[in-house]
Each structure stands twice: as structure tokens, then as C-alpha cells.
Amino acid sequence: MTAVQDYIRTIVNFPHEGILFRDVTTLFADPRGFRMAIDQMLHPYAGLEIDKVVGLEARGFILGGAIAHQLSVGFVPIRKKGKLPGATISQSYTLEYGDAIVEIHDDAIKAGEKVLLVDDLLATGGTAEAGIKLIERLGGEVFSCAFIIDLPDLGGRKRLQSMGMEVKALCTFDGS
């Protein structure tokens, strides 16, 4: 039986020497693989009260939009600095390859809304942590974080769990 991880290719030395890049575009390109991933990601949340799905740039948009559609809830993007047209709040963070800033519209989440945070890959957890902080600053409650891939050797799951987050991933890969 084919599993989600069977659709994911590994690209050696991208974007830097020594990195094993887990490429989900091959998963997205295959209709069976993509449906399998979306179905498996949303399954734990079916029937729960969720107000919004928030996707982290950029592959989290693809996943988050599809999951939000299936759950019949709104979708909110968290984007890199300068990409959103309206009034925003921002959060800086450190990731594997340097520093970055992400933003969310300041009216995207209402106080008390229950939010599912979605992205393709959990590495160090820096991007997800920044997203959680943005959502919480707007008064939202992140009740779970869902990923296709977890890279446990990089510590992201532990980082998010130390913040009190539930973390779900469809598969894991060793190394970076």
C-alpha cells in the first residue's frame, strides 16, 4: 500500500550543501497522493468546532486552503513581510537558513476563534512558532498544528509542544 511519504522526493544539497530537501511538490502533483494527504491531515479534526485554518507561506496555503474547504471554515494566510495588502502585525523569527519576518492581517482572526495551523514541513519550528504568536496576539486559540512531514532531529515538535501545542504529522524523515 502506498503511503504519503512514498510521494515525497528528496533533493540532496538544496538549498545549501548538506541539506536533504523534502520536496512535497511531487505529492501535490499526484491526484491520489494529494487527496490522501489532505484526507489524512483533516481526519483528526472532522466534527470539531474550528473557526479558521491558518496556512504558513507558501506550501501551507495549498494544504490549508484544501483543508479549510473540506471543513467548511475560513482560511487565513500568514505571509512573508510586505506581501499582504492590508494592515498587518508582524513577528520576526529565526529559521534554518537565517532570520525572517512573517505577517498576518490585523483583522484576520477574531478573539476566541479556534485555529488549526497548517504547513507542509516541521523542522526547527521557528516559522510555526512565529505563526502561533501572531494568532495569539490577535486573540485566537491555536488548538493544533498539522504538517505532512516532521523532521524530529531538528527539534520543531518539542519546541511547539513546549508551548502547549498539539502537533500532528503524517510522516517523519530522519536527518535534516
Can you give the pLDDT at residue 73? 98
Eight-state DSSP code of residue 132: H
pLDDT surpasses 90 at 90: yes
85-90 average pLDDT score: 98
Domain 49-172: top CATH class: alpha beta
Q: What are the residue ranges spanned by the domains of the chain?
A: 49-172
Residue 96 a catalytic site member = yes
- Would the CA dihedral through 3, 33, 149, 132 be positive or negative? negative
Helix, strand or coil, per DSSP, at residue 55: strand
Give the confidence band of 1 by pLDDT, cuts at 50, 70, 90.
Answer: confident
For 48-76, what is each residue's pLDDT tens digit?
A: 999 999 999 999 999 999 999 999 999 99
Q: Is 112 left (phi over 0), alpha (psi -120 to 50) or beta?
A: left
| Angle in degrees, CA 11, 67, 57, rounded to 5 | 50
What integer pLDDT is reported at residue 51 of this predicted model? 98
Q: Which of 32, 57, 96, 136 is catalytic?
A: 96
pLDDT exceeds 70 at position 176? no
The reply to whether 141 belongs to the active site is no
Determine which one of 59, 79, 157, 159 is catalytic: 59
Do residues 78 and 104 touch, judged by C-beta distance below 8 A? yes
* pTM as predicted: 0.96
Give the model's pLDDT for residue 97: 66
pLDDT at site 85: 97
Mean pLDDT of the chain: 96
Q: What pLDDT sits at residue 19?
A: 87
